[in-house]
Amino acid sequence: MPDQDTLQDLVGREHAATGSDYSAGFVTDIEADTLPPGLDESVVRAISTKKEEPAWMTEWRLDAFRRWQEMHAPRWAHVRFPDIDFQAISYFSAPKGDAPKSLDEVDPELLRTYEKLGIPLHERARLAGVREEDMPEVAVDAVFDSVSVATTFKDRLADAGVVFCSMSEAIREHPELVRKYLGSVVPKPDNFYAALNSAVFSDGSFVYVPKHTRCPMELSTYFRINAENTGQFERTLIIADEGAYVSYLEGCTAPMRDENQLHAAVVELVALDDAEIKYSTVQNWYPGDDEGNGGIYNFVTKRGACLGERSKISWTQVETGSAITWKYPSVVLRGADSVGEFYSVALTRNFQQADTGTKMTHIGPRTKSTIISKGISAGRSQNSYRGRVRMNPGAKGARNYTQCDSLLIGEQCGAHTFPYIESKLPSAMVEHEATTSKVSDEQLFLCQQRGIDPEKAVSMIVNGFCRDVFRTLPMEFAVEAAKLLEVSLEGAVG
């Protein structure tokens, strides 16, 4: 087919592009306190000791570690990578010195790092590319390698009764909440990487929004991997009490390195009666170079529990980074009339692999879930949607709607869809649809004829394809996501 030429020319040019379009790929030169590589009980104890944890927490970790040792790394995902040597990884790395008591004490080098990434750690937070007057305030928890280095707007949030702090601090300051909910949504032996995380997690964010409280600003955590040969194992726990509302944003980057690095996080969300949690991720971990060397292995367990009646949990993710992405932000719909949503854009290019999707488990009556997944594959990448919708016998009148669309750019990539639909009761209704399309030469020619250059045309078409997901993001994140997609596509199509 002669019309193929245009797109092939564009895709062919991919080889001219380099990994240098990953602007977050720099390394911060900072003295770090890093544990030597290796994992045994003493390492788990050492992490717990460094974090000055109470005995119950140490025991909790050791229990997880013992369970992890009995488990095997899963192999069912549509991804390929060499076996990970868990003894070659360092499980703790933190900038040297005492934990800063306030923003003024944070190492200026660290502040510059976040400034460079467009995440200023002062309390006039403003993300790049958005006019100040459009921009609501955002409180940021910055996690650098294994520890939280700063959390902004804590006082303002405290006035509203909202707790927003690092996980380490929560274990010390709010043990009753942590003991009650940690591991309640993702149990320690849930899966291999969740068990590993439970044993060695070093920090992360903790949020508690009290009854009938609307969190006064967006909360966000920004994860940064900096140290070499280090895994990042953060743990996030968000609890929205009855009638509470919170919107939470997560961003992440890492330096460009030739070795793969492991990121195995666990995120747990708990929504009680009438509570709503909106969790948005723009994932931009280093994806590896265009030959497929290096990049982050992003093996993450994210799950929310709609415990309360009429509660709601929404996951929105824009995944453009990581060498391998392997995650299924899920919702357990236990409370009657609770609602779960999953909106996803996953873009893969070069040699990236993504196996991502969601699990919606309907337990309570009249529970509803919506899944909208948009996968974009370019280069030699493999992009899979994997999802499970389960209607348990109690979920009378439950509903699910799923739409999975794949867009292929070029002839050497793959796009795959693996939905599991499991229903055990007649009154539940499940609907699933999936389609595959490409950026057609006709579309490109139309844009070109109207004077729009091919790169701009492809990015416009891809943005249009993702529209249903982008409109669920908070405005400042939607802008970032669209820009990120554009930058990522520059390497992929021209």
Q: Which is nearer to another protein, 265 or 492 (CB)?
A: 492
Q: Is 422 in the site for another protein (CB under 8 A)?
A: yes
Q: Which of 238, 461, 479, 484 is close enough to bind another protein by CB under 8 A?
A: 461
Q: Which of 379, 419, 474, 494 is close enough to bind another protein by CB under 8 A?
A: 419
Residue 84 DSSP one-character state: P
Could you tell me which residues are beta bridge partners of residue 230?
90
Q: Is 134 in the site for another protein (CB under 8 A)?
A: no
Q: Which is nearer to another protein, 57 or 391 (CB)?
A: 391
The span of 90-98, 124-132, 274-282, 452-460 binding another protein (CB under 8 A) equals 452-460
| DSSP structure string for 410-472 | SSS-EEEEEEEEEE--TT-EEEEEEEEEE--HHHHHHHHHTT--HHHHHHHHHHHHTHHHHTT
Minimum CB–partner distance for residue 132 and another protein (Å): 19
Tokens read off for 347: 């873009």
Could you tell me which residues are beta bridge partners of residue 318?
282, 345
For the chain, give the number of residues: 494
Of 32-91, binders to another protein (CB under 8 A) are 76
Q: Is 270 in the site for another protein (CB under 8 A)?
A: no
Minimum CB–partner distance for residue 452 and another protein (Å): 5
The span of 17-25, 55-63, 224-232, 436-444 binding another protein (CB under 8 A) equals 436-444
Q: Which is nearer to another protein, 26 or 445 (CB)?
A: 445
Of 8-37, binders to another protein (CB under 8 A) are none
User: Contact, 140 vs 150, CB < 8 A?
Assistant: yes
> What distance in Å separates the CA atoms of residue 207 and residue 205, rounded to the nearest whole number?
7
User: Contact, 327 vs 299, CB < 8 A?
Assistant: yes
Q: Which residue has the tokens 């009938």?
A: 212
Residue 288 DSSP one-character state: -
Q: Is 192 in the site for another protein (CB under 8 A)?
A: no
Q: Which of 47, 430, 458, 479 is close enough to bind another protein by CB under 8 A?
A: 430
User: Contact, 401 vs 468, CB < 8 A?
Assistant: no
> What distance in Å separates the CA atoms of residue 293 and residue 277, rounded to the nearest whole number?
37
Q: Is 133 in the site for another protein (CB under 8 A)?
A: no
- Run of H or E residues at 49: helix 41-50
Q: How many residues at the interface with another protein, by CB under 8 A?
A: 63
Of 385-414, binders to another protein (CB under 8 A) are 391, 393, 406, 408-414
Query: Which stretches of the chain bind another protein, using CB under 8 A?
Result: 1-6, 76, 391, 393, 406, 408-436, 438, 440-443, 445-454, 456, 460-461, 463-468
